[in-house]
């Protein structure tokens, strides 16, 4: 990871000029591996391919290049997925009754992080590479980021009520589709995964009994 941040890296990102994806060489400020908090760059809220192209190109991809993406791409992806888009705090993805039950965790080489969207930072939960533990499929540890979409079912009242699980799963579905569309827009590889061990994930992410991992997106640079 240190290596990753200590050099200039190539990132894919969208400028949306003539619907083309533009790749540039970008230097980033090194972030110490020991940082308990990673400050993310300001998300870019413009550009990208036209929506109809993104819909047409959205697909599940399970093969990832080893080439690293930078924190700007992660900031953009997280914002596109579930970022605050309005002054009243509402977001890019809807939630039933605006319950805002979703939390997003990023499992990457340097550790497990909780995305704190209001501050645009990643907060370290656990240091170390736990990507392999986020799913049994072979490609999982090869994805740069495994991003868990978690619902706090208590935001919908009684967590045992089927409505709570239904709404939580639906909220996660919207976030997941936003992730898919952002990745299509930037030619990134991603796949939504329901295949993971819930007990392992609850422990890794230190969730409470009301929180449920709904999906995990493996994300990385597309392998050509
Ligand atoms: C709720 C859900 C769970 C999924 N779980 C997995 C999974 O655990 N592993 C996997 O490789 N793909 C998983 N997928 C991806 C589907 O296999 C994929 O969407 C489907 O084959 C259609 O392909 P497409 O996404 O390219 O249209 C999941 C998709 C959804 C919506």
Question: Using a 6 Å cutoff on CB, does residue 20 contact ligand 1?
Answer: no
Rounded to two decimals, the pTM is: 0.88
Atom of ligand 1 nearest to the CA of 139: 11
Per-residue pLDDT reduced to its tens digit, 146-190: 999 999 999 999 998 999 999 999 999 999 999 999 999 999 999
| Distance of CA 174 from the midpoint of ligand 1 (Å) | 14
Joined together, the tokens standing for residue 197 give 């061990």
pLDDT at 31: 52
Helix 71-82, helix 162-186: angle, nearest 10: 140
3-state secondary structure of 100: coil
The position carrying tokens 């090869």 is 142
DSSP class of residue 67 equals P
For the chain, which domains are there?
2-221 (3.40.109.10)
User: pLDDT 10s per residue in the chain (224 long)?
Assistant: 444 433 333 333 343 323 333 232 233 344 554 579 999 999 999 999 999 999 999 999 999 999 999 999 999 999 999 999 999 999 999 999 999 999 999 999 999 999 999 999 999 999 999 999 999 999 999 999 999 999 999 999 999 899 999 999 999 999 999 999 999 999 999 999 999 999 999 999 999 999 999 999 999 999 98
């Amino acid at each position: 990871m240190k290596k990753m941040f200590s050099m200039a890296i190539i990132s894919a990102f969208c400028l949306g000029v003539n619907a083309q994806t533009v790749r540039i060489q970008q230097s980033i400020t090194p972030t110490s591996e020991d940082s308990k908090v990673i400050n993310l760059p300001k998300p870019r809220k413009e550009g990208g391919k036209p929506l109809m192209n993104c819909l047409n190109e959205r697909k599940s991809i399970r093969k990832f290049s080893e080439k690293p993406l930078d924190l700007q791409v992660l900031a953009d992806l997280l914002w596109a997925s579930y970022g605050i888009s309005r002054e009243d705090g509402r977001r890019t993805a809807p939630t039933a009754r605006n319950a805002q039950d979703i939390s997003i965790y990023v499992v990457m080489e340097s550790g497990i992080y909780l995305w704190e969207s209001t501050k645009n930072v990643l907060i370290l939960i656990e240091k170390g590479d736990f990507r392999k533990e986020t799913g049994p499929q072979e490609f999982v540890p090869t994805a740069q980021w495994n991003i868990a979409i978690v619902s706090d079912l208590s935001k919908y009242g009684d967590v045992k009520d089927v409505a709570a699980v239904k709404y939580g799963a639906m909220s996660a579905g919207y976030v997941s589709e936003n992730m898919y569309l952002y990745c299509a827009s930037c030619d990134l590889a991603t796949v939504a995964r329901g295949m993971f061990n819930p007990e392992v994930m609850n422990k890794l992410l230190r969730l409470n009994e009301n929180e449920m991992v709904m999906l995990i997106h493996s994300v990385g640079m597309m392998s050509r």
